[in-house]
Amino acid sequence: MDQIRLLFLGTGAALPSPRRMLPALALILDGQVALFDCSEGTQMRMQQAGLSPARIRHIFISHLHGDHLFGLPGLITSQHLLKRSEPLYIFGPVELDLFLQTVHQVTQHQASFPVVVVPCTPQAEQIWTLEGFSVQSLPLDHGPACFGYRFIEHDRPGKFDADRARDLGVPNNDLRTALIHGETVEWNGRRIRPEEVVGPAQRGRTIAYCTDTRPCENVRILARDADVLVHESTFHPDQEMLAQETGHSTSRQAAESAVAAGCRQLYLYHISGRQDDQSEMEMLESARSIFPATEMPQDYDCYSVLVREPL
């Protein structure tokens, strides 16, 4: 099974700081990159990390606050200059289209490739089936229209062992198809079970990306049984009232959502620049006291998403 890696290109919030740049997360799967949010400087940090912007096929924008958005025009321009030809799909609030159209109008610059804006609707769940994975979106509770995403790697059927099938004398016809689909067959008076010729199916991994938001039901739906939850953690548990007022979460609330959703790993993300070493350590500890499998990545940290046990 292919590796899935999460490369944290920026882990801060609102104001860039030397500690943490503004939010962007690259999900690297099978040679392609899905980008979640695109703050100012994302393309530079990708370059710094040795990740070509040309590999991005899909971009998922949570909402249209500048710290999640303002790297998009430069990224598209650079892809144009790098002679991209394949389409780029950008998911997010519907006003993304006006933003990008105005950028194109004002800069008199038309990308050499199709830029397809796919609007998320605040009314309902949406699921898009893409190449090798699906993505589900649901509105979060931030203030302006803001969407969380659930990235779902497709399950893969077990690998058919042609050598073993030949040794068992299974002919190359409908019997093989039946075995691949999990049926037991009879051939030459012998019962052949699918597991004799088909390897274990591989279970797809799921990654939930939830920022910016107060704790809410849709976070728990998006992160249900997920391998990874990347959740905003703007504030310290002592700042819960501030978080509530501004449409954000504390580290403790992020951990509570991870527990409620039954996910496996939590990454605290979108850390306010008001935090220092001490308060960040306290935030991490408060989350781990509730959900031990918690990390608070730094910019440029990269994590593999482990393959789950076979189905």
CB of 3 or CB of 102, closer to a copy of itself: 102
CA dihedral 43, 45, 50, 52 (to 10 degrees): -10
CB of 132 or CB of 144, closer to a copy of itself: 144
Cis omega (within 30 of 0) on the bond before 212? yes
Here's the x/- map for a copy of itself, 258-287, by CB under 8 A: it reads as ------------------------------
Give me the amino acid identity at 107: T
Q: Which stretch binds a copy of itself (CB under 8 A): 62-70, 185-193, 253-261, 299-307?
A: 62-70
Phi then psi dihedrals of residue 261, to 5 deg: -85, -15
The length of the chain is 311
CB of 45 or CB of 264, closer to a copy of itself: 45
Q: Which of 87, 132, 144, 171 binds a copy of itself (CB under 8 A)?
A: 144
Phi then psi dihedrals of residue 202, to 5 deg: -105, 125
Biggest CA-to-CA distance, the chain: 75
Within 76-115, the residues that bind a copy of itself by CB under 8 A are 77-78, 81-82, 95-96, 98-99, 102-103, 105-109
Burial of 181 (0-12, 13-18, 19+ CB in 10 A): exposed
Residue 141 within binding range of a copy of itself, rule CB under 8 A = no
Say if CB 35 and CB 89 are below 8 A apart. Answer: no
Tokens 């310290």 -> residue: 236
Here's the x/- map for a copy of itself, 3-42, by CB under 8 A: it reads as -----------xxxxx--xx-----------------xx-
CB of 45 or CB of 150, closer to a copy of itself: 45
Residue 160 within binding range of a copy of itself, rule CB under 8 A = no
Report how far apart, in Å, the C-alpha atoms of 124 and of each of 53, 136, 159, 222, 278 are. Answer: 31, 10, 37, 13, 40
Q: Which of 58, 65, 205, 231 binds a copy of itself (CB under 8 A)?
A: 65
Q: Which stretch binds a copy of itself (CB under 8 A): 27-35, 43-51, 83-91, 205-213?
A: 43-51
Residue 71 within binding range of a copy of itself, rule CB under 8 A = yes
Tokens 């302006």 -> residue: 144
Q: How far is the CB of 21 from a copy of itself (least distance, A)?
A: 7
Report how far apart, in Å, the C-alpha atoms of 263 and of each of 236, 266, 305 are. Answer: 22, 8, 13
**Any idea what the Cα angle at residue 47 is, between residues 42 and 49, rounded to 5°?**
95
Buried b (16+ CB within 10 A) or exposed e, 46-55: beeeebebee
CB of 61 or CB of 207, closer to a copy of itself: 61
Catalytic residue among 37, 67, 227, 299: 67
CB of 75 or CB of 266, closer to a copy of itself: 75
Residue 167 is a catalytic residue: no
Annotated active-site positions, please? 67
Binding site for a copy of itself (CB under 8 A): 14-18, 21-22, 40-41, 43-44, 47-48, 64-67, 69-71, 73-74, 77-78, 81-82, 95-96, 98-99, 102-103, 105-109, 144
